[in-house]
């Protein structure tokens, strides 16, 4: 008995000399989570609704970004721990800002449609007009530029890029001559449609597979906080499953309506998009590697990075956290 007590005391003394011991698996932690307002956030909302974060000792504090530039700068500056947005923003952070960022989970394919003003009948009608974007060199703007390029239009020559930030502002721009076209996802796509704008097609129809929304973090933060990140992702996956469960349609629509301040009909339309295969949420919010290869190919072609040859995706990914979180019951 004396020997056991002595060893325990010695171990405690060594731990105190070495610094604070690792936190236990469910040590309470607050994580600041930054995102755009939109239906893509339903896994986070449902995880909160069902107590999935609380059961794992996680308190998420949600922040909503006005645009991707602010989000990327905020993540690099340590203003929050986790970002949810189009993962092409993580690629831009690595390649343009030289920040060591990793993508740790997927989400959805963007659910985007190419929306235009009522008088525009086709992509060619954007000649001499403005394409309204969040930021001109990332994500859905790059995708829109590719769609227009395939239609024979070149940015800066045949049309102008007008960066104005998040989706709500882009919806409003379509009510003015300044905004001729933009990419929109739910619920904003339906609000724009109700105001008279129209879709020329979904990005799935106009382009193909695309890995859009996902979660990304600073690599050094993930390495220092693997348990907290895996617990967060476990709750995120649970929320994603709840959102995709047809038996939970009513609570999901209710949460969309409440969190995004929507009319019931708009929330129901957004819900339908979320459950559309290949357009909405990926199963368990898994990462679409083929869609991500398309993201990199687009950046190589449209932005001219890597001398036009897309790199292997590995340097931007660390899906081990997600895989371990998914394996926990």
Q: Has residue 18 been placed in a domain?
A: no
Write down the pLDDT at residue 25. Answer: 59
Sequence-distant (≥ 6) Cβ neighbours of residue 262 within 8 angstroms: 187, 256, 270
Do residue 90 and residue 230 come from a single domain? yes
Residue 22 lies in a domain: no
Do residue 92 and residue 135 come from a single domain?
Answer: no
Q: Does 181 lie in the same domain as 295?
A: no
Structure tokens at 65: 């970004």
Q: Are residues 95 and 230 in the same domain?
A: yes
* Domain boundary, last residue among 153, 185, 206: 206
Residue 165: per-residue pLDDT: 83
Report the DSSP beta bridge partners of residue 155. 159
Write out the two tokens for 242.
């709840």
Asked whether residue 322 is domain-assigned, the answer is yes
* Cα 200 to chain centroid, rounded: 23
Which of 172, 206, 240 is at the close of a domain? 206
Query: Alpha-carbon torsion 113, 116, 121, 124, what sign?
Result: negative
Q: What is the pLDDT of residue 85?
A: 96
Quick one: 215 and 265 in the same domain?
Answer: yes
Could you tell me if 305 and 256 lie in one domain?
yes
Task: Report whether 102 contacts 316 (CB < 8 A).
Answer: yes
Number of domains in the chain: 2
Q: How far is CA 70 from CA 88, 172, 186, 248, 327, in A?
A: 15, 20, 22, 34, 34
Same structural domain for residues 188 and 217? no
Looking at 135-180, which runs of residues are DSSP E strands?
160-163
Regions of the chain with pLDDT less than 50: 1-24
State if pTM tops 0.85: yes
Residue 199: predicted pLDDT: 96
Same domain for 227 and 318, yes or no, is yes
d(CA 101, CA 218): 4
DSSP H or E run through 182: strand 181-184
Check whether residue 163 and residue 37 sit in a common domain.
no
pLDDT of residue 236: 98
Q: Is residue 14 part of a domain?
A: no
Euclidean distance between the first and the last CA atom of the chain, given in angstroms as a whole number: 38
Neighbours of 169 (CB within 10 A): 16
Give pLDDT, residue 182: 96
pLDDT, residue 278, reads 85
Domain residue limits at 317? 29-109+211-327
19 part of a folded domain: no
Residue 20 lies in a domain: no
DSSP state of 311: P
Distance CA 175, CA 164 (A): 14
Is 266 within a domain?
Answer: yes
Let me know whether 159 and 42 are in one domain.
no
Cα separation, 70 vs 111, in Å, equals: 23
- The torsion defined by the Cα of 217, 221, 226 and 228, in degrees rounded to 10, comes to -80
pLDDT tens for 64-81 read 999 999 999 999 999 999
Determine, yes or no, domain membership for 309: yes
Name the domain boundary from 183, 206, 229: 206
pLDDT of res. 27:
82
Domain CATH code at residue 67: 3.40.190.10
């Amino acid at each position: 008995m004396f020997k056991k007590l002595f060893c325990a005391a010695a171990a405690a003394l060594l731990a105190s000399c070495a610094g604070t011991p690792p936190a236990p698996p469910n040590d309470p932690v607050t994580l600041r989570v930054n995102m755009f307002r939109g239906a893509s956030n339903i896994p986070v909302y449902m995880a909160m609704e069902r107590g999935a974060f609380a059961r794992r000792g996680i308190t998420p504090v949600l922040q909503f970004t006005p645009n991707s530039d602010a989000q990327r700068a905020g993540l690099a500056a340590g203003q929050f721990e986790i970002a949810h947005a189009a993962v092409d923003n993580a690629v831009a952070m690595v390649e343009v800002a030289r920040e060591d960022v990793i993508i740790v989970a997927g989400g959805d394919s963007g659910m985007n449609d190419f929306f235009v003003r009522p008088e525009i009948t086709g992509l060619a009608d954007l000649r001499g007009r403005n394409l309204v974007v969040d930021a001109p060199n990332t994500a859905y703007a790059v995708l829109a530029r590719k769609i227009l390029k395939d239609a024979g239009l070149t940015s800066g020559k045949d049309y102008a890029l007008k960066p104005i930030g998040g989706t709500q502002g882009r919806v409003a721009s379509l009510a003015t001559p300044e905004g001729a076209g933009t990419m929109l996802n739910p619920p904003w796509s339906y609000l724009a449609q109700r105001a008279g704008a129209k879709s020329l097609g979904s990005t799935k129809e106009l382009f193909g597979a695309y890995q859009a929304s996902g979660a990304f973090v600073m690599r050094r933060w993930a390495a220092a906080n693997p348990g907290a990140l895996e617990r967060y992702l476990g709750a995120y996956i649970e929320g994603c499953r709840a959102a995709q469960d047809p038996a939970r349609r009513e609570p999901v629509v209710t949460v969309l309506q409440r969190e995004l301040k929507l009319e019931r009909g708009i929330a129901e339309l957004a819900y339908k998009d979320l459950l559309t295969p290949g357009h909405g949420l990926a199963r368990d919010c898994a990462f679409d590697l083929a869609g991500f290869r398309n993201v990199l190919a687009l950046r190589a072609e449209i932005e001219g990075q890597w001398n036009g040859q897309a790199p292997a995706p590995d340097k931007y990914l660390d899906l081990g956290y997600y895989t371990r979180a998914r394996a926990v019951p």
